[in-house]
């Protein structure tokens, strides 16, 4: 476990003491000799210079403060700046008495409006003793800021061959040099679960509002006098008691006129009712014929005879009188305007419908807002970068841009050892060679040549010194591509040299590969690093339309480095 050995608080404290001691005598002399105005001005200048010196700091840490000879430690420099600030870290082959084994590209961590830059160096020392990692200059917007020096102890390793069992040198192995901590990729199940949780939360809130609105008092259901009359007429069928039948018949008609013509009818006698009816028709000048009023009066007189004289009426005659009653209601309904009661209930119904529509809109809006807020919460939980990477991978596939945004890892492969930085570890492929001139051969790969991106690495160690034939090497590479279903291969060759002064040859070009019924256009670039004792090959393939592939290739090829391995014969 690496641990930081310094902090910004300690750095600020040490610098504050330094400035205080250095400037105390000079400042006192100035304050004694100058006027009050001059003393105030000098004090302001001092405070400005004092605090401005702390506007930027460089945190310094090492993974260990005591190492064995040849063991590596990691030096980390950290600084927080604004987004527009330019930060330049030193690029050195050695730091003090320590040799720089590897200088990693600066890492960037975004935090609100600030960016934290982290520069890492792998250092080593092959002589025992106490050494000091000196202060390093980090340039921020053309201003130099010094890091803190750290003392490191390098201890000797005693080797007693008489007591320690010796082992044969291993043929070759994959050695992990460094792997930065990565956030696991989002899976389809995680995204589906996050969306489902957001939907459930929004749905629960929607149901709570719906129950609340449903419990609110609604306006009573309303039936118009006309519809109510005909509903009551239908309930009179098959009634054997004539007295009850005609009593109900006249009550229905009276109720209708009481509601529509708005006069007291239910408690009126037949004579009173007919008089009020004629009066209302005359006053309001309704177009009702005398015949209709006469039929109404005849029907009510007949009903009085049945109720009081107990006259027997057949079912057929009852049905006939019910039809007459229905026709009277129909005639008046087609002539009378809408009553005040009907208008009141119509407005109440309209208001209730508008209220329910409003409640429905509120519920729907609340559902959408709650769902969106829940989705945002899920995005923050998973991490914005992880979600954007997931969406980009689903839309565009896992292209070069997707992997360039991820943390990469540095590893060593094969024999001779080749160090390389890749998005993920390469996996060993089973490969054998019956060539007597080959002492060992190893191959590692990440994905296939038919994928959007792939990397393969091969190391070959010769038994004896062999003069490399570049044409034979190129032909072997093309044959390997064709074995992986590549067609219509077109190539060009050029020399290779990366930032670590590793040189070799490059064979690059295009090819086609069938993907179902479609043909996919691909590009490849293969780096060959060879001498008389071995050959190291790194091939990168990508879709021809991938515009970020160039940056991907440069990052991989610039990380290539040969490592020496000492062997005891």
Q: Is there a domain that residue 390 lies in?
A: no
Distance CA 331, CA 294 (A): 13
| H-run or E-run covering 360 | helix 340-382
Could you tell me which of 65, 341, 105 has the C-alpha nearest to residue 228? 341
Q: Is there a domain that residue 67 lies in?
A: yes
Residues 285 and 144 in one domain: no
Buried b (16+ CB within 10 A) or exposed e, 85-124: eebebeeeeebbbbebbbbbeeeeeeeeeebebbbbbbbb
Distance CA 444, CA 173 (A): 11
Mean pLDDT of 416-430: 89
Residues 424 and 546 in one domain: yes
Q: Is there a domain that residue 194 lies in?
A: no
Q: Which residue has the tokens 């921020």?
A: 140
pLDDT of residue 496 exceeding 90, the answer is: yes
Q: Is 55 exposed, middle or buried (0-12, 13-18, 19+ CB in 10 A)?
A: exposed
Q: What is the pLDDT of residues 173-202, one digit of tens each?
A: 444 444 444 456 677 788 888 889 989 998
Residues 140 and 252 in one domain: no
Last residue of some domain: 337, 354, 372? 337
Quick one: pLDDT at residue 185? 67
CATH of the domain at 448: 3.40.1000
Quick one: pLDDT at residue 509? 94
pLDDT of residue 13 exceeding 50, the answer is: no
Q: Where are the alpha helices (DSSP H) in 215-262?
A: 225-234, 242-260
pTM, rounded to two decimals: 0.42
**Domains identified in the chain, total number:** 3
Distance CA 557, CA 509 (A): 16
pLDDT of residue 325 exceeding 80, the answer is: yes
Quick one: pLDDT at residue 56? 64
Quick one: pLDDT at residue 465? 82
Quick one: pLDDT at residue 200? 93
Q: 492 has which bridge partners? A: 508
End-to-end C-alpha distance for the chain, whole angstroms: 35
Q: Is there a domain that residue 261 lies in?
A: yes
Domain that holds residue 141: 8-175
Could you tell me which of 440, 439, 446, 398 has the C-alpha nearest to residue 422? 446
Residues 485 and 547 in one domain: yes
SS3 63: coil
Cis peptide before 396 (omega within 30 of 0): no
Residues 316 and 439 in one domain: no
Could you tell me which of 159, 184, 164 has the C-alpha nearest to residue 70? 159
Q: What is the pLDDT of residues 475-485, one digit of tens each?
A: 989 998 998 88
Quick one: pLDDT at residue 25? 44
The contacts of residue 562 (CB under 8 Å, 6+ apart) are 416, 417, 418, 419, 502, 529, 536
- Mean pLDDT across the chain, nearest whole number? 79
Compute how many other C-beta atoms are within 10 angstroms of the C-beta atom of residue 326: 15
Q: Is there a domain that residue 444 lies in?
A: yes
Mean pLDDT of 84-102: 85
Residues 431 and 289 in one domain: no
Contact 295, 328 (CB under 8 A): yes
Residues 433 and 554 in one domain: yes
251 phi and psi, to 5 degrees? -65, -40
Of 57 and 365, which is predicted with more confidence? 365
Q: Is there a domain that residue 180 lies in?
A: no
Quick one: pLDDT at residue 433? 81
Residues 168 and 233 in one domain: no
pLDDT of residue 505 exceeding 90, the answer is: yes
Q: Is there a domain that residue 116 lies in?
A: yes
Residues 549 and 469 in one domain: yes
Residues 303 and 409 in one domain: no
CATH of the domain at 64: 2.60.40.10
The contacts of residue 241 (CB under 8 Å, 6+ apart) are none
Band (393; pLDDT cuts 50, 70, 90):
low
Residues 297 and 419 in one domain: no
Last residue of some domain: 113, 143, 175? 175
Mean pLDDT of 432-458: 87
Quick one: pLDDT at residue 37? 47
Last residue of some domain: 114, 140, 175? 175
The contacts of residue 11 (CB under 8 Å, 6+ apart) are 57, 58, 59, 148
Residues 414 and 499 in one domain: yes
Q: Is there a domain that residue 181 lies in?
A: no
Compute how many other C-beta atoms are within 10 angstroms of the C-beta atom of residue 262: 13
Of 217 and 47, which is predicted with more confidence? 217
Of 20 and 142, which is predicted with more confidence? 142
């Amino acid at each position: 476990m690496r641990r930081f050995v310094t902090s910004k608080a300690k750095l600020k404290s040490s610098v504050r003491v330094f400035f205080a001691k250095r400037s105390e005598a000079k400042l006192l002399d100035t304050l004694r000799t100058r006027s009050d105005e001059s003393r105030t001005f000098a004090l302001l200048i001092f405070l400005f210079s004092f605090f401005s010196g702390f506007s930027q700091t460089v945190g310094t840490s090492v993974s260990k403060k005591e190492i064995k000879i040849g063991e590596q430690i990691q030096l980390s420099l950290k600084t927080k700046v604004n987004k527009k600030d330019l930060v330049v870290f030193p690029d050195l082959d050695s730091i003090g008495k320590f040799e720089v084994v590897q200088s990693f590209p600066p890492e960037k961590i975004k935090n609100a409006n600030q960016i934290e830059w982290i520069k890492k160096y792998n250092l080593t020392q092959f002589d025992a003793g106490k050494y000091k990692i000196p202060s390093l200059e980090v340039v921020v917007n053309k201003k130099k800021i010094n890091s803190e020096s750290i003392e490191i102890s390098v201890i000797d390793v005693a080797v007693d061959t008489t007591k320690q069992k010796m082992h044969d040198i291993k043929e070759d192995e994959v050695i992990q040099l460094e792997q930065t901590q990565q956030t696991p990729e989002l899976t389809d199940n995680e995204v589906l679960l996050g969306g489902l949780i957001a939907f459930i939360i929004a749905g629960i809130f929607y149901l709570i509002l719906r129950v609340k609105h449903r419990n609110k008092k609604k306006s009573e259901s309303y039936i118009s006098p006309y519809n109510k009359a005909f509903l009551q007429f239908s309930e009179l069928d098959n009634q054997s008691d004539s007295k009850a039948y005609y009593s109900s018949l006249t009550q229905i008609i009276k109720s209708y006129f009481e509601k529509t013509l708005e006069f007291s009818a239910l408690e009126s006698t037949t004579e009173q009712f007919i008089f009020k009816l004629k009066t209302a028709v005359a006053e309001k000048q309704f177009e009702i014929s005398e015949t209709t009023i006469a039929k109404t009066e005849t029907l009510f007189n007949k009903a009085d005879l049945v109720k009081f004289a107990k006259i027997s009426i057949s079912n057929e005659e009852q049905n006939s009188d019910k039809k007459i009653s229905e026709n009277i209601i129909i005639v008046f309904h087609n002539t009378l305007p809408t009553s005040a009661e009907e208008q009141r209930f119509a407005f109440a119904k309209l208001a209730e419908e508008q209220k329910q529509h409003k409640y429905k809109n509120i519920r729907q809006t609340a559902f959408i807002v709650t769902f969106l807020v829940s989705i945002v919460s899920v995005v923050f939980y998973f991490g914005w970068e992880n979600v954007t990477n997931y969406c980009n991978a689903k839309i565009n596939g896992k292209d070069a841009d997707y992997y360039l945004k991820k943390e990469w890892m540095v590893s060593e492969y094969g024999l001779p050892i080749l160090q390389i930085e890749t998005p993920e570890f390469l996996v060993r492929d089973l490969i054998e060679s019956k060539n007597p001139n080959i002492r060992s051969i190893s191959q590692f790969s990440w994905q296939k040549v038919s994928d959007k991106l792939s990397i393969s690495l091969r190391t070959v160690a010769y038994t004896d010194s062999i003069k490399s034939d570049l044409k034979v090497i190129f032909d072997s590479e093309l044959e390997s591509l064709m074995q992986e279903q590549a067609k219509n291969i077109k190539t060009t060759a050029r020399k290779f040299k990366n930032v670590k002064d590793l040189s070799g040859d490059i064979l690059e070009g295009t090819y086609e590969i069938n993907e179902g019924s479609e043909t996919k256009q691909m590009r490849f670039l293969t780096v060959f690093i060879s001498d008389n004792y071995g050959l190291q090959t790194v091939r990168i393939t990508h879709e021809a339309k991938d515009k970020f592939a160039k940056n991907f290739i440069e990052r991989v090829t610039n990380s290539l480095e040969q490592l020496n391995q000492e062997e005891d014969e």
